[in-house]
């Protein structure tokens, strides 16, 4: 009996994520899997994202039933075990025998036939002892309600184990944000993030409605919308690029750039922020720079506005002499604010990566600051929760360049509220000193940081 298309796709995606440092969401929405039926695509997505979210928890349970150390297993074997364990624990509608049988067949398909009896034995043991699965289901059920405040703050180890996160990340968040915020971040990361888009034009919204997509108002922004139901990815407006998925916090960062006549977007791909800047500044001259040629091509496709010039260039050696009154430096970062959508990041990121990123981010920001005209503004942003990538970068750049100063994001948030763009009422929760800060689980969005620098 052949393996179902959904599990075959899930297996292949998980292997590619592991071997190539690819991103699961990009793979699942690639042309390779476009022909899957909606049901198969849905199950493949559920398995892939579930395995990535709960990987350390799954490994801990698999280890109970395995006669071999997990680090000695081939990745194909371990992936098949994780898939079956996830389905047995979390997917009530999937028969256990189907999860077991198809994982064994996937191992054979991967030319690891000699490991098939081992996989079968491990999964049979797991299926015969159900207490572990019931415990895991309890954690998932708890995510659907408000967290109960414990009498004592949880330890780093307890929080990391319960919500399947690396302990070193949890420790950082507890130290920087406190244990309650760290718990909220971990909880949010284990849920399916809402699909957010920029509020579409009336004709596009009508087309979405006709295709069965129901939209809700944005929670942060009145200019955003959230998908309540329906398959956005197969609609004509989405396929033609008229609508793009973009977290509300990401949209908010783009709005902070404000109005200008000559605008630079330093690290522009994939282009969501560039598009918002162009929409809000139709008369401006906008330069969108992207280091990688293939990402620059994607940017040009997503942002067809005539007033946007796309170039393939490194902002640290930008081939232009003119200066700009508005600059966005949305720099490459660890992405720890996006783990709900990109759970693979938490398993591949290492503490030393943050040190390396800090140096790169500082170099980009210092280069970008040289392109701001006197009186102009630069927005520095990341989708990271880590201080080294955020406040520390800004403060070090300002210490080396006294010609710029930080201005409070609060004034820009108040401007957006006055312009009827902001839906979120609690502006204090958005700010940390002069900086913008969104925190997953405290805000219904990704974790973003932004600073506004003004050139003297």
Active site residues: 383
Q: Which residues, 6+ apart, have CB-to-CB distance to 128 below 8 Å?
A: none
Q: Nearest-CA neighbor of 331 among 365, 304, 301, 300?
A: 365
Q: Nearest-CA neighbor of 451 among 371, 368, 374?
A: 368
Q: Nearest-CA neighbor of 338 among 378, 386, 301, 294?
A: 386
CB of 281 within 8 A of CB of 344?
no
Write phi, then psi, for 377 (nearest 5 degrees).
Answer: -130, 150
Q: Nearest-CA neighbor of 364 among 376, 351, 346, 380?
A: 380
End-to-end CA distance of the chain: 71
């Amino acid at each position: 009996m052949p393996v179902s298309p959904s599990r075959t796709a899930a297996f292949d995606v998980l292997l590619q994520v592991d071997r190539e440092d690819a991103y699961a969401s990009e793979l699942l929405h690639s042309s390779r899997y476009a022909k899957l039926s909606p049901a198969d695509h849905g199950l493949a997505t559920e398995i892939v994202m579930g395995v990535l979210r709960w990987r350390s928890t799954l490994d801990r349970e698999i280890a109970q039933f395995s006669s071999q150390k997990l680090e000695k297993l081939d990745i194909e074997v371990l992936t098949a075990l994780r898939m079956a364990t996830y389905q047995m624990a979390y997917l009530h509608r999937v028969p256990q025998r189907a999860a077991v049988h198809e994982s064994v067949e996937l191992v054979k398909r991967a030319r690891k036939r000699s490991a098939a009896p081992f996989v079968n034995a491990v999964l049979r043991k797991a299926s015969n002892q159900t207490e572990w699965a019931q415990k895991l289901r309890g954690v998932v059920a708890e995510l659907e309600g408000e967290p109960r405040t414990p009498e004592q703050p949880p330890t780093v180890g307890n929080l990391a184990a319960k919500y399947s996160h690396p302990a070193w990340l949890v420790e950082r968040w507890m130290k920087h944000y406190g244990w309650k915020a760290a718990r909220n971040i971990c909880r949010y990361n284990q849920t399916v993030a809402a699909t957010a888009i920029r509020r579409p034009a009336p004709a596009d919204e009508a087309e979405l409605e006709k295709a069965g997509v129901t939209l809700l108002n944005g929670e942060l922004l009145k200019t955003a919308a959230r998908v309540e139901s329906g398959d956005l990815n197969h609609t004509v407006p989405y396929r033609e690029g008229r609508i793009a998925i973009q977290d509300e916090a990401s949209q908010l960062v783009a709005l902070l750039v404000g109005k200008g006549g000559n605008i630079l977007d330093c690290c522009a791909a994939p282009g969501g922020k560039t598009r918002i800047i162009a929409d809000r500044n139709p008369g401006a001259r906008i330069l969108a720079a992207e280091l990688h040629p293939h990402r620059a091509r994607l940017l040009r496709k997503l942002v067809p506005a005539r007033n946007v010039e796309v170039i393939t260039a490194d902002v640290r050696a930008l081939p232009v002499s003119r200066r700009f009154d508005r600059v966005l430096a949305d720099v490459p970062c660890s992405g720890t604010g996006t783990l709900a959508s990109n759970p693979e990041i938490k398993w591949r990121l290492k503490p030393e990566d943050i040190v390396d990123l800090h140096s790169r981010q500082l170099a980009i920001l210092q280069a970008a600051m040289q392109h701001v005209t006197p009186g102009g503004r630069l927005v520095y942003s990341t989708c990271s929760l880590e201080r080294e990538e955020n406040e520390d970068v800004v403060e070090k750049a300002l210490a080396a360049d006294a010609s710029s100063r930080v201005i409070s994001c609060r004034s820009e948030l108040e401007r957006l509220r006055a312009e009827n763009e902001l839906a979120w009422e609690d502006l204090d929760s958005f700010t940390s000193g002069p900086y913008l800060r969104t925190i997953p689980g405290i805000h219904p969005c990704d974790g973003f940081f932004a600073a506004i620098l003004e050139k003297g």
